[in-house]
């Protein structure tokens, strides 16, 4: 393979630190392998080079490629992950007497047990309900993450807690962190986060210790630099010392782990602030996809302020990528079926979602259509979600009163959504209710240890269960609405979640489940069959989240759930600020750049309008310009952002002219409609996603009207005029 000039420049970098900004699919591994071989050929001893990869899979991939390219028997440098470096430093610093010996907690349950003890210690004086809620598995997991992040950020628990938006009832995290630390010390244990945290604290505080680890390296090469966190960056600085040259490779536009402490600034600014002056190298050519997607990706990230000024350009030999957008899960099914009809296997297809909740509608639709799929996380299978099992359980009870005598069924419905009561107590109560069909008397021991609020909640729930068989004739969706309302499920889910975002996700899941209620109201046998459904169908399409798709690629990528509030993710209670919007935009950028041959962007018909990212990406322009390039079109191409497209065309050596499209405003959906525009029934409009249509009704606030439009292809829709990417057409018919 012939390296590009840009790749060669990286390989032959001479002295000093270097920062390599590589777009998605730029052949980083190929380049870095060539760089290492170049250094070896220059006479740098293998042991004086350290290569750091983001995770074990990347390390193995790199090691294999390096071994394949090297001469037989050649000694090669170490390729490591931060974890493995941390491991080794812990061992050495312990052996030298700077750290006390600690054993790594490798099993989740071991860590959970200590977290539990820490919480019990801190909430010893609190009431039982508070303690039970804090000991809930999810809440403990959130506490575990909190402890890890405090260490990744090298900060204090208090400072970190104040900075982040943890949900209600989490104030104990700060004390629990301190006590968890004490327990770890007492038991001689440490967590994965300690692998870096302990040695780093030791090295930063002791010059003597530092002297033992510094000076052994001439070159440090580090991949995926955009996802580095504070502890990692500081450890890197210690290891490199003043002697080693650091080469950091990454893409600030793909920094998607802010919740884990990564920030684009590490790549954009902090690298130089930490290490000093660096030479910048771009790797701008992607070998993954065609011009249409490269252009779309460039448009998609354009709105971010914090980004490198770098174009992603498709290599001439890349596959021709086509992009389409559409609406509804039915459209997804059509696409997957058409893919198969063209003789392409479903394993080549991936459905990406912003978060797992959004996958529920996709899973149900694919199950209905008989299209096999795999889930990157099996526990996210819709029929295994506790909330889904419970809602299906409520529906079943409404159709079969005998279930009121089944203690297991009652236990399921008493515990989901959570009633904040310990499971053993619910078990005893469920047994009593199944046997007696009546609520225990006031003095009954079963109610003894329950708070008045818990008693009330459970009694109300039992009353609802008794009432359900009388509502069995209602449509499933209506019945679920009643259940959700009577259980005050939204409030319960929000309260149960340790992070605001998680609570909101659960509430959205409720909405999705109500929409899909017919699927939950299946006959028991069918439901049981679905619950058992083997998920790892090797020949199926993969469903995963954008975070889970990092570094991967597929011939067909369908991005599902492109609606405002879903992607970008926000809500009334949790509005977007500039920083979060930029992170969402990077996530969108990562999502679309996973595709090789085909990208389908799908939004839903729910109450949220199509995502602003659709319009921002100007995907139609991408398709149009790519076609012009293939056909070597002479005449000018109309585009929304002529400056960007012009830059792209000159980067690929094309002389095709571009000119501004008449509807440039499509790229700024929030400001699309002229503030002074007035809407009248009968006007013809163009909507960026739905196409042409005619206004039928205008209502509401005249300054911010809601319009009812009949679109030629997308049917009737109600839109908030000023927030929709629409334009009033001058005359003409909506055909
Ligand atoms: N100069 C080149 N010419 C042609 N193909 C190339 C070149 N450099 C890399 N590639 C191809 O690009 C693909 C991705 O390359 P590689 O495996 O090195 O990158 P990666 O590190 O996995 O990807 P990414 O850059 O997305 O992180 C491979 O198929 C590789 O053969």
188 labelled ligand-binding: no
Ligand 1 atom with the smallest distance to the CA of 287 is: 12
430 belongs to an annotated ligand binding site: no
Record the tokens describing residue 496, joined without a space: 């149960």
Residue 672 has a pLDDT of 34
Which atom, in ligand 1's list, is nearest to the CA of 22?
A: 25
Enumerate the H helices of 188-325 as residue ranges: 192-205, 207-213, 230-240, 264-265, 271-275, 291-301
Q: Which residue from 27, 294, 310, 549 has its CB within 8 A of the most atoms of ligand 1, so it is best to mutate?
A: 27
Q: Is 173 exposed, middle or buried (0-12, 13-18, 19+ CB in 10 A)?
A: buried
**Ligand 1 centroid, distance to 546 Cα (angstroms):** 21
Whole-angstrom Cα distance, residue 595 to residue 323? Answer: 10
Name which residue sits closest to atom 9 of ligand 1, judged by CA.
27
pLDDT of residue 670: 39
CA 653 to ligand 1 centroid distance, Å? 22
From atom 15 of ligand 1, which residue's Cα is the shortest distance away?
Answer: 27
Residue indicated by tokens 């002219």: 657
Nearest CA to ligand 1 atom 26: 25
Q: In angstroms, what is the span from residue 643 Cα to ligand 1's centroid?
A: 28
Mutate to test the pocket of ligand 1, among 21, 22, 30, 222 (most ligand atoms within 8 A of CB): 30
Q: Tell me the sheet residues that pair with 81.
A: 53
Query: 494: annotated binding-site residue?
Result: no
Q: Using an 8 Å Cβ cutoff, are 115 and 144 in contact?
A: yes
The reply to whether 29 sits in an annotated binding site is yes
The CA 3 to ligand 1 mean position distance, Å, reads 10
- Closest Cα to atom 19, ligand 1: which residue? 27
How many angstroms separate the alpha carbon of residue 1 from the centre of ligand 1? 10
Region for 97 from its dihedrals, namely left if φ exceeds 0, alpha if ψ lies in -120 to 50, beta otherwise = left
- The whole-angstrom separation of Cα 506 and Cα 511 is 9
508-552, pLDDT tens digit by residue?
788 778 877 777 777 666 766 666 665 556 789 999 999 999 889
Query: Residue with the nearest Cα to atom 16 of ligand 1?
Result: 27
30 CA: nearest ligand 1 atom: 18
Asked if residue 97 belongs to a known ligand binding site, the reply is no
- 4, 66, 287, 315, best to mutate for ligand 1 pocket (most atoms within 8 Å of CB): 287
**Alpha helices, DSSP H, located in 188-290:** 192-205, 207-213, 230-240, 264-265, 271-275
pLDDT value of residue 511: 79
The answer to whether residues 726 and 685 touch, using CB atoms and an 8 Å cutoff, is: yes
Residues with Cβ within 6 A of ligand 1? 1-4, 7, 22, 24-30, 287
**Closest ligand 1 atom to Cα of 4:** 1
* Residue with CA at minimum distance from ligand 1 atom 8: 27
- 26: annotated binding-site residue? yes
> Which residues of the chain carry a pLDDT beneath 70?
498-501, 523-525, 527-537, 606, 663-677, 700, 723, 730-735
Map 674-709 to HEC letters: CCCCCCCCCCEEEECCCEEEEEEEEECCCCCCEEEE
The protein residue whose alpha carbon is closest to atom 5 in ligand 1 is 287
- Centroid of ligand 1 to alpha carbon of 389 (angstroms): 44
Distance (Å, whole) CA 687 – CA 529:
43
d(CA 318, CA 4): 14
349 known member of a binding site: no
Assigned token pair, 273? 């602030």
Known binding residue 390? Answer is no
Query: Residue with the nearest Cα to atom 2 of ligand 1?
Result: 3
Separation of 24 CA from ligand 1 center, angstroms? 10
Which residue in 314, 228, 293 sits closest to 590, CA to CA? 293
Rounded distance between C-alpha atoms, residue 306 and residue 304, angstroms: 6
H, E, C per residue of 519-530: HHCCCHHHHHHH
Q: How crowded is residue 115: how many other Cβ atoms within 10 Å of its Cβ?
A: 25
Ligand 1, atom 30, lies closest to the CA of 27
- 558, 635, 622: which is closest to 595 by C-alpha? 558
pLDDT at res. 590: 97
Question: For atom 4 of ligand 1, which residue has the closest CA?
Answer: 1
| Rounded-to-integer distance, Cα 588 and Cα 581, Å | 10
Say what the pLDDT of residue 527 is.
67
């Amino acid at each position: 393979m012939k390296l590009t000039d840009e790749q060669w420049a990286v390989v032959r970098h001479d002295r000093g630190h270097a920062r390599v900004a590589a777009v998605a699919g730029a052949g980083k591994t190929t380049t870095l392998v060539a760089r290492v071989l170049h250094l070896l050929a220059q006479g740098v001893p293998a042991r004086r080079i350290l290569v750091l990869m983001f995770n074990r899979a990347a390390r193995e991939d790199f090691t294999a490629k390096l071994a394949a390219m090297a001469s037989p028997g050649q000694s090669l440098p170490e390729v490591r992950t931060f974890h493995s470096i941390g491991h080794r430093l812990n061992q050495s610093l312990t052996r030298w007497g700077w750290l006390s010996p600690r054993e790594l907690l490798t099993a989740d349950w071991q860590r959970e047990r200590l977290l539990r003890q820490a919480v019990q210690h801190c909430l010893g004086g609190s009431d039982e309900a508070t303690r039970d809620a804090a000991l809930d598995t999810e809440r403990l997991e959130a506490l575990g993450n909190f402890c890890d992040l405090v260490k990744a950020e090298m900060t204090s628990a208090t400072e970190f807690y104040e900075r982040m938006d943890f949900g209600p009832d989490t104030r104990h995290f700060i004390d629990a962190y301190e006590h968890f630390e004490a327990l770890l010390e007492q038991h001689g244990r440490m967590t994965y986060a300690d692998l870096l945290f302990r040695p780093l604290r030791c090295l930063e505080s002791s010059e003597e210790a530092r002297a033992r680890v510094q000076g052994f390296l001439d070159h440090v090469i580090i991949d995926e630099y955009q996802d580095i966190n504070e502890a990692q960056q500081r450890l890197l600085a210690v290891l490199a010392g003043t002697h080693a040259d650091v080469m950091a490779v990454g893409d600030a536009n793909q920094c998607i782990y802010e919740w884990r402490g990564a920030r684009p600034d590490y790549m954009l600014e902090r690298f130089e602030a930490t290490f000093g002056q660096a030479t910048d190298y771009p790797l701008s050519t992607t070998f993954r996809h065609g011009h249409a997607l490269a252009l779309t990706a460039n448009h998609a990230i354009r709105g971010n302020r914090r980004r490198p000024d770098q174009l992603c350009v498709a290599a001439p030999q890349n596959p021709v990528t086509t992009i389409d957008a559409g609406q509804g899960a039915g459209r997804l099914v059509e696409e997957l079926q058409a893919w198969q009809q063209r003789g392409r296997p479903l394993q080549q297809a991936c459905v990406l979602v912003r978060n797992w909740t959004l996958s529920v509608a996709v899973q149900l639709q694919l199950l209905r259509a008989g299209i096999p799929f795999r889930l990157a996380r099996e526990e996210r299978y819709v029929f295994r979600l506790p909330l889904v099992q419970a809602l299906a359980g409520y529906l079943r009870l409404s159709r079969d009163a005998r279930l009121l005598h089944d203690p297991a069924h009652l236990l399921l419905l008493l515990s989901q959504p959570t009633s904040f009561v310990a499971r053993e107590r619910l078990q005893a109560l469920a047994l009593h209710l199944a046997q007696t069909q009546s609520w225990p008397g006031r003095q009954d021991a079963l109610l003894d240890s329950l708070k008045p609020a818990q008693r009330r909640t459970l009694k109300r729930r039992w009353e609802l269960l008794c009432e359900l068989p009388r509502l069995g004739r209602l449509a499933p969706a209506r019945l679920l609405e009643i259940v959700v309302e009577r259980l005050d499920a939204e409030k319960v889910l929000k309260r149960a979640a340790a992070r605001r975002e998680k609570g909101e996700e659960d509430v959205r899941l409720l909405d999705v489940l109500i929409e899909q209620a017919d699927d939950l109201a299946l006959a028991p046998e069918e439901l049981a069959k679905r619950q058992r459904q083997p998920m790892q169908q090797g020949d199926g399409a993969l469903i995963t989240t954008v975070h889970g798709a990092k570094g991967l690629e597929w011939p067909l990528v369908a991005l599902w759930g492109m609606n405002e509030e879903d992607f970008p993710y926000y809500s009334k209670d949790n509005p977007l600020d500039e920083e979060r919007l930029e992170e969402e935009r990077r996530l969108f950028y990562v999502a679309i750049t996973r595709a090789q041959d085909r990208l389908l962007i799908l939004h839903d018909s729910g109450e949220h309008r199509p995502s602003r990212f659709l319009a921002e990406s100007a995907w139609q322009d991408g398709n149009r310009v790519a076609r012009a390039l293939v056909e070597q079109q002479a005449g000018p191409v109309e585009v929304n952002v002529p400056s960007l497209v012009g830059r792209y065309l000159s980067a690929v050596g094309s002389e095709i002219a571009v000119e501004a499209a008449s509807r440039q405003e499509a790229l700024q959906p929030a400001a699309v409609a002229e503030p002074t525009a007035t809407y009248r029934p009968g006007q013809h409009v163009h909507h960026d996603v739905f196409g042409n249509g005619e206004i039928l009704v205008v209502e509401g606030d005249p300054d911010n009207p809601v319009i009812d439009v009949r679109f030629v292809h997308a049917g009737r829709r109600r839109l908030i005029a000023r927030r929709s990417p629409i334009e009033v057409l001058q005359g003409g018919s909506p055909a």
